[in-house]
A and B are shown apart, each in its own frame.
Chain A
Amino acid sequence: MRFAELATTPLLPADYLDLVNPLRSGADLRGRIEAVVPETRDAATIVIRPGADWQPHRPGQYVRIGIDVDGVRMWRAYSITSDLGRTDGCFTVTVKAIPDGKVSNHLVRRAQPGTIVQLDQATGEFCLPEQRPAKALFVTAGSGITPVMGILRNHPELTDVVLVHSAPTADDVVFGADLRQLAADGRIRLVEQHTDTAGMLDAAAIAELVPDLAERSTWACGPIGMLEALEEHWNAAGIADRLYTERFRAKVLVTGEGGTVTFTKNGTSLEADGATPILDAAEDAGVLMPSGCRMGICFGCVLPLREGAVRDLRNGEVTTAAPGDGVLIQTCISAAAGACDIDH
């Protein structure tokens, strides 16, 4: 391999091997979309064949997927919904298109089989413990069903399961047919709440529906509001240790003018207004910054934005980064548009 590197410099042998087999062992972890199977009018299951180095997931875990949308690499986390026993070596994620969701809409409506996506290994703690609970309750809403489906499909040993699931209508229930079949087979007790007609369930209503709630280990996945209400109720009942929650959407980023800019390696934090380039604000605060032309053309000042939002002072365009994204920004033409963590 060392010799091969001498022959390919400045490229790596991997750059050439990727032309032939991007899913080989030793390559960056990637996957290939094998199929996109519609589930409801706005949800689809994506079948992905992972690269050779993929390690089997634990049911309930999620995977971060990097896919190019309009040419831009975007990363999102999706729960894995497939049966570990699949013989074709693929896994699936099930995605619900959210309004204005760039990646989710792309995956549900535009993604084509054959597309190569970037992957991380599966991760997450929304899993059953080694000691399986005798009685389980799952409370889900919308696409919050996805990790729970991943669990139900892989843990037939659970015998006493209640699932309380909310969706706007019966047709909007992702995995509706599978869930009703499980209920018909007696594997689970299914409570479907169609919120368009019946309204939302609050924690008290759930407690009424599930009288033995205190005896059950509970896993909940859904919108933040729902999870917070449940946590409050479980806390009040003194059974907070029996509730496991999964927040599947990052908190909505509030963008505005200016914000606190934190340089994570350097340790400096400063308040920057919405009209001053981060580069200038940082230098004024005594941070030693890489810089170049100071007019946005030379890319000598780019640093990774770990989390936060910046506005391009030339055209007002806002760039956001979720934790782990590491979007590279030009500090000389970017002003803070909210709190920013910059890796420097």
Chain B
Amino acid sequence: MTVLQKKADNPIEHLTAEDIELIGKELDDIRQSVIDTRGENDARYIRKVIDVHRKIELGSRAVLLASGFPPAFVVGTIGLSVAKILENMEIGHNILHGQWDWMRDPKIHSTTWEWDMASPADQWKHSHNEMHHTYTNVVGKDNDLGYGIMRVDEDQPWQPFHLGQPLWSFINACFFEYGIAAYDLELAGTIAKKRTGDPEFRARAKAVLRKIGRQVRKDYVIHPLLSGPNFLPTLAANFTANLVRNLWSNSVILCGHFPEGVETFEKKSIEGETRGEWYLRQMLGSANISGSKAMHIMTGNLSHQIEHHLFPDLPSSRYAEIAPRIRDLFDRYGLKYHTAPLPQQVGSAWHKIIRLSLPNGWLELTNRRNLVPQLVALYKMTTGGPKVRRTLQRKLTAGVRLSRAAAAAA
């Protein structure tokens, strides 16, 4: 992707400043209509989900006490995976967004909730609610764009180490909760700036380690010990459940902002941004996942990522109901509402990760016939200096232009 402001076919060129404010006004009205009808049914919903989660978790942990017995291992692992996904997605993420604060229930409140995750809730709230949701898809501001480890934009110059991007993206997916914790802690940046001695950073790092310690002790010591002779199978089951949950939440999150077609923005484009413009950025910077009700619940309704980014503090259970109105708004203003089934969106996101791990244009120009010379060029770009890279990149860019022109002529 390329930041929207540099695109040849700017998807919002046809909108006037007035249009954008009208969009903002309509969205405010939709938000208000949900707030006006928020009530007992919503409260019952979140309490039900919490209740179901606790029962599945308790049941699965109980079954896993007999994890040496293969069917118990399978059932318990599946149950625990489902419980952990529910806990992180529909429950934790959304409560920490303040979606349920209006109930004034101190037990279900963004200021008191803690979740089954390596990252402590308050640190996650800062990096996610404040940074990511305010500066969504602004290159250089929103660290969720590539989590500081990936090249996610054609405008970021390609470096040889980006070749490893698919591999470490996969490793990050497997241990996603730790990736998130490190990233909420701003670990990489702090190390780079040599500020690890800062007492404020140390206090936060200590909080993360304490949280990780408690999490690890629960899943890899206490519950395995409770299983007695089944120590190892229970440990394996808990590890698997965490792995499944990590892969799942990583996939859902990739789908939210990474699929092809989702826009990114320049830092200076958000200076003095109006509420209407902020809304518009959220509309263009998110993508949905289509699917069944169960799919929506298991993604924490982040399958309605567009609706979530427009209204991060509305109860997640209401996104489905406003989605048709949002889609209609997109249509009326000639904007593209990105939505596709999960496999397609995950595929699209991974395609982008792979494409951007290679120099711009390389993947597009490579086919079976020119594979060998292309690999040679890639080898030279990887091992050569910046000058070699620049020269070969110019060639690639010219090649792309030629092949596109040829395709257009044909």
Contacts and interface: CB of A to CB of B under 8 A. Distances in A.
Interface stretch (B32-40, B335-343, B355-363, B376-384): B32-40
Contacts of A10: 114-116, 211, 214-215
A213 interface: no
Interface in B117-152: 125-126, 129-130, 133-134
A55 interface: no
B395 to A, nearest CB: 45
Interface string A54-83: 000000000000001011111000000000
Interface string A7-22: 1111100011001000
Interface stretch (A127-135, A250-258, A259-267, A298-306): A298-306
Contact of B129 (A68, A292, A317): A292
A327 interface: yes
Given A7-B226, A297-B134, A68 B214 contact: no
Interface string A306-317: 000000001101
B278 interface: yes
Contacts of A299: 97-98, 101, 110-111, 125, 129, 313
Interface stretch (B10-18, B51-59, B240-248, B250-258): B51-59
Contacts of A330: 98
Interface stretch (B190-198, B216-224, B290-298): B216-224
A11 B61 CA distance: 14
B103 A71 contact: yes
Interface in B67-112: 97-98, 101-105, 107, 109-111
A293 interface: yes
B217 A6 contact: yes
Q: Contact residue range for chain A?
A: 20 to 34
A340 B149 CA distance: 46
B202 interface: no
A81 to B, nearest CB: 27
A16 B55 CA distance: 8
Nearest to A317: B35
Contacts of A298: 98, 125, 129-130, 133-134, 312
A314 B125 CA distance: 22
A49 to B, nearest CB: 21
A310 to B, nearest CB: 14
Contacts of B101: 299, 302, 328
B317 to A, nearest CB: 12
Contacts of A6: 214, 217-218, 222
B84 to A, nearest CB: 12
Q: Interface residues of B: mostly helix, strand, loop or mixed?
A: helix
Given A19-B51, A295-B275, A298-B130, A327 B217 contact: no
Interface in A270-327: 292-293, 295-300, 302, 314-315, 317, 327
Given A71-B43, A292-B126, A315 B32 contact: yes
Contacts of B21: none
B42 interface: yes
B111 A302 contact: yes
A283 B84 CA distance: 40
Contacts of A9: 214-215, 217-218
Contact of B130 (A16, A73, A293): A293
Contact of A328 (B32, B42, B58, B109): B109
Interface centre among B41, B215, B222, B223 (most CB of A within 10 A): B222
B260 interface: no
A7 B313 contact: no
B130 A292 contact: yes
B111 A328 contact: yes
B28 interface: yes
A71 B278 CA distance: 30
A233 to B, nearest CB: 41
A300 B125 contact: yes
B38 A71 contact: yes
Interface in B7-33: 28, 32
A325 to B, nearest CB: 8
Given A19-B55, A299-B313, A72 B129 contact: no
A70 B103 CA distance: 9
A198 B244 CA distance: 75
Contacts of A328: 101, 104, 109, 111
B257 to A, nearest CB: 16
Nearest to B221: A6
A293 B217 CA distance: 35
Interface in A5-39: 6-11, 15-16, 19
A327 B104 contact: yes
A19 B222 contact: no
B130 A68 contact: no
A296 B107 CA distance: 22
A64 to B, nearest CB: 14
A7 B44 CA distance: 27
A298 B132 CA distance: 10
B128 to A, nearest CB: 8
A152 B93 CA distance: 53
A93 B134 CA distance: 48
B97 A16 contact: no
Given A68-B43, A71-B40, A7 B218 contact: yes
Contacts of B125: 298-300
Nearest to B44: A71
Interface of A: 3, 6-11, 15-16, 19, 68, 70-74, 292-293, 295-300, 302, 314-315, 317, 327-328, 330
Interface of B: 28, 32, 35, 38-44, 51, 54-55, 58, 97-98, 101-105, 107, 109-111, 114-116, 125-126, 129-130, 133-134, 211, 214-215, 217-218, 222-223, 226, 275, 278, 312-313
Q: Across chains A and B, which 3 residue pairs bring their CB atoms closest together, nearest first?
A: A71-B43, A299-B98, A298-B129
13 contacts: A6-B218, A68-B103, A71-B41, A71-B102, A72-B103, A72-B104, A292-B130, A293-B129, A298-B125, A298-B133, A299-B125, A302-B101, A315-B32
Given A10-B214, A71-B103, 8 more contacts: A3-B222, A10-B115, A10-B211, A68-B103, A72-B102, A298-B129, A328-B101, A328-B104
